[in-house]
A = this chain, B = another copy of it.
């Protein structure tokens, strides 16, 4: 069974990387003290006299996600020589996590049309409005953390990333249910909605350590390529048979009619009859119970998942290449191993 949890591809594009699943633990261990400080700051800054705010925020932010983005900020800063126990990278790591959480909350908002199809999402417990408003609160708190940091350069990087994230999310909305979406548009979507924050999260590590532009650019390239790889794999996992067997939800993207890389590949490589299937299911959104299995079969036939992961590997390689401007160190090794972790996610 391949470690990335995808059903076995025919071309061997996916393969098991022993220990990749431990890369996250290794990275976490490396910055444990700073991560704990970051977690405390997160809990402290999501407080509000309005009780629903910490209550709803805790539902997502404190639920013990893997904290991948703040870990990247902490490790990037340490890689650049910023001292462990310092507070700037901790504050910015919390800030990055708040932006990520706000994005998740806003992503949870359900459209009227989706509701009519009975697709209530994770926001079912609190409702659309609460998700939007608590997300806004976390965005505002993220900016407050940045302002307190006091670096206009950091503020420029993160506010630009926030605008790019929103652009990516809107473009995703626009291309949804549109099978004429191009690969370039898809890449623009994931560069915005995912990679922009990864890039900002790692770039600010160089900024707090006051490193030259070349190192800033290298960490930006590392984060950006890692983010694209991460999202490509995410989009493949949404159709992965193995995930299903492991009791994970799959098919969310399919039900929503998102046009992701696996769909683009299967659609482009498909027969006219197959394209008619994709148009019916994703554009007209007339879905039958057996359609997801049909989609998975077509992806298998056209190597769509394996090739999506293969592209993720290319971006992963670019992320690794970007790290080469830094001398060898435990941080550099940990950040390099995270690339494999993001690609070979078996969970």
Contact = CB atoms under 8 A, between A and B. Distances in A.
Interface string A165-176: 111011101100
A112 interface: yes
Contact of A137 (B113, B152, B167): B167
Interface in A71-112: 106, 109-112
A143 B162 contact: yes
Contacts of A150: 152
Interface string A39-64: 00000000011111100000000000
Contact of A159 (B112, B144, B162, B171): B144
Contacts of A165: 136, 140
B137 A163 contact: yes
A167 B106 contact: no
Nearest to A53: B170
A160 interface: yes
Interface of chain A, helix or strand or loop or mixed? Answer: helix
Given A53-B170, A139-B162, A128 B110 contact: yes
Contact of A147 (B112, B139, B156, B171): B156
B127 A167 contact: no
A52 to B, nearest CB: 5
B128 A112 contact: yes
Contact of A144 (B106, B133, B163, B170): B163
Nearest to A144: B159
- Copies of this chain, whole number: 2
A292 interface: no
A134 interface: yes
Interface string A145-188: 01110101001100110110111011101100000000000000
A143 B128 contact: no
A275 interface: no
A346 interface: no
Contacts of A152: 147, 150, 152
Contacts of A171: 50
Contacts of A15: none
A146 B159 CA distance: 10
A141 interface: yes
A146 B158 CA distance: 13
Nearest to A149: B152
12 contacts: A50-B174, A52-B174, A106-B133, A109-B129, A110-B112, A110-B129, A113-B127, A133-B166, A134-B170, A139-B166, A140-B166, A144-B159
Given A140-B160, A140-B166, A141-B163, 12 more contacts: A50-B167, A51-B174, A106-B136, A110-B129, A113-B127, A130-B173, A132-B132, A133-B169, A133-B170, A140-B162, A144-B156, A150-B152
